Amino acid sequence: MRKLYVCSTSSDSISKVNLDFFVEEEKIYLDEKNLKRIGPHGIYAYENKILTANGFDNSISMVNIDNYETESHFIGMHCNDLSVYDNKAYVICGDCDDIIVFDLQKKHIVEAIPCGNLPHSIYICKNKNLIIVANMNSDSISIIDCAPNGSIKNIRVGAYPTKAVITSDGNYILVCESNIGMDSKGSISIISLKNYNVLYKIPVGNSPVDMYCNERYCYISNFGEGTVSILDINNYREIKKIKVGGMPRGIIEDERYLYVGDNYNNLLLRIDKITENKKAISIGKEPTGMTFL
């Protein structure tokens, strides 16, 4: 059965969650000897492994889900997030403003691709062969062709973008503009992938930091106000806001539920998308990235 894997930055761990019973089945520590801080921040499922981008020790970890054997590789300063394309991990480094490309089979660094200032998240659209990076400190997104020596475009967006994805139809980019530290609330911008014009800007909650989208809806965790916004991306409006409390960070969905990590209370919440009934379990400290495998 499919499991949910959640990385917790301050616990240096990955929680394996049984979705049928909604319990933490296993806690996998990335440094069992506790000799150093790891700081897993981003997570990705690759073959039979869970990969994490680690901000504290500047590495990626590769965890075999069959036996929990873990190996790590130095990448660059302050790894925030990662994704995989063609058996290569693309890892964003927040302190050197680069995407480091790491060959997962040969296990060495292939190249460094420049992006904007303080990249926070990375998304790869395999249908379009495009990489999208949200750069918090330069208020921009980088759009990079996956082909060797592919083109790089930097597009100006709203303040402190934390995430950017391409819609399932391949026509638009959705950008989570957090406005962290500002008086105004955050927003989701819908940008044409043809000409990079901003078509719509939808207000959401205070300090949105993460989002998860399907063909019709976009779910946003509003870190600064303890809510989740639900957007109808075809009609360009917020249709509902669910109170969850704490500081919601990572967010992901399956057929029935939303799963939200609460950084303040160190909880994982499961929210029924129809009834809005909630259940919470204790998880590691500062749950951030989530993935299914």
Note the pLDDT tens digit of each residue in 45-99. 999 999 999 999 999 999 999 999 999 999 999 999 999 999 999 999 999 999 9
74: burial class by Cβ within 10 Å (0-12, 13-18, 19+)?
Answer: middle
Q: Which of 20-24, 35-39, 286-290 has the lowest mean pLDDT?
A: 35-39
Q: 241-279 burial, b if ≥16 CB within 10 A, otherwise e? A: ebebebbbbbbbbeeebbbbbbbebbbbbbbebeeeebe
User: Domains of the chain by range and CATH?
Assistant: 3-210 (2.130.10.10)
User: DSSP assignment, residue 76?
Assistant: -
**With helix as H, strand as E and coil as C, how does 162-205 read?**
EEEEECCCCCEEEEEECCCCCCCCCEEEEEECCCCCEEEEEECC
Note the pLDDT tens digit of each residue in 265-284. 999 999 999 999 999 999 99
